[in-house]
Amino acid sequence: MTENTVLALVGSLRAGSTNGQLAETAAHLAPSGSKVVIFDGLADIPFYNDDIDLPGSVPAAAQRLREATQNADALLLLTPEHNGTIPAVLKNAIDWLSRPFGEGALKGKPTAVIGTAYGQYGGVWAHDDARKSLKIAGADVVEEAKLSIPGSLVRFAEVHPKDDAEVSTQVSEILETLLGALKDEVAA
């Protein structure tokens, strides 16, 4: 049986990232017949610049992201909120994946956005902005797969999200919904 690959992009670079832990939770809970691969390397990608996005000489780190995205069946973005919107590292990844215009690796890719942030709304502005940007970039955003968990630094101070029963259930549901979008595409 062919395995579906979900590529996870995490919008926080720090070692103890609670969003990184959420990505680990998704990897841990991937339903049978699927796997979640966490992309390691967003920090190495230069800021998007047309002058360096040249056929045959795309920066290696950006090319690696493009290829990992092309090879994935779906994307899962997990991100905190930075000053009311998407962290720059994740926006930069979206920009690289949106080019070449109309043919970027994101085009038509089933994509969900979830995450946790310290504020009381769990980063929902960042998540909504990410969905908006992804749609403009050509992704097939799975709108039903939404999760914004408040109080990141407190809630996951002592407990990894995979050991939080409510969060584990929510992450499993997100994966089912995202992978369900793949089945819908095959059936259509």
Ligand X SMILES: Cc1cc2nc3c(=O)[nH]c(=O)nc-3n(C[C@H](O)[C@H](O)[C@H](O)COP(=O)(O)O)c2cc1C
Element (H, E) at 114: strand 110-116
Binding residue for ligand X (CB under 6 A) from 29, 72, 73, 80?
80
124 touching ligand X, by CB under 6 A: no
C-alpha closest to that of 25 among 120, 147, 164, 119:
164
Q: Which is nearer to ligand X, 60 or 157 (CB)?
A: 157
Judged by CB under 6 A, the residue of 4, 7, 9, 12 near ligand X is 12
Residue least distant from ligand X (Cβ): 119
Neighbouring CB atoms inside 10 A of 17's CB total 20
Interface stretch with ligand X, choices 17-25, 98-106, 133-141, 167-175 (CB under 6 A): 17-25
Least distance in angstroms from the C-beta of 170 to ligand X:
16
Window 143-172: contact mask with ligand X (x via CB under 6 A): ---------xx-------------------
Size of the site for ligand X (CB under 6 A): 16
Q: Minimum Å distance from CB 119 to ligand X?
A: 3
Q: Which is nearer to ligand X, 79 or 111 (CB)?
A: 79
Encoded tokens for 112: 């969900």
Which phi and psi angles does 116 have, rounded to 5°? -135, 145
Q: What is the DSSP letter of 2?
A: P
Which pair of tokens denotes residue 150?
Answer: 């408040």
Tell me the closest approach of the beta carbon of residue 18 to ligand X, in angstroms: 4
Cβ closer to ligand X: 104 or 123?
123
Contacts 24+ apart (CB under 8 A), 39-48: 39/7, 39/8, 39/9, 39/10, 39/65, 39/68, 41/65, 42/9, 42/10, 42/13, 42/89, 42/90, 42/92, 42/93, 43/13, 43/89, 45/92, 45/93, 45/96, 47/92, 48/92, 48/95, 48/96, 48/99
Does position 82 interact with ligand X (CB under 6 A)? The reply is yes
Minimum Å gap between C-beta 86 and ligand X is 10
Interacting residues toward ligand X by CB under 6 A: 12, 14, 17-19, 80-84, 117-119, 123, 152-153
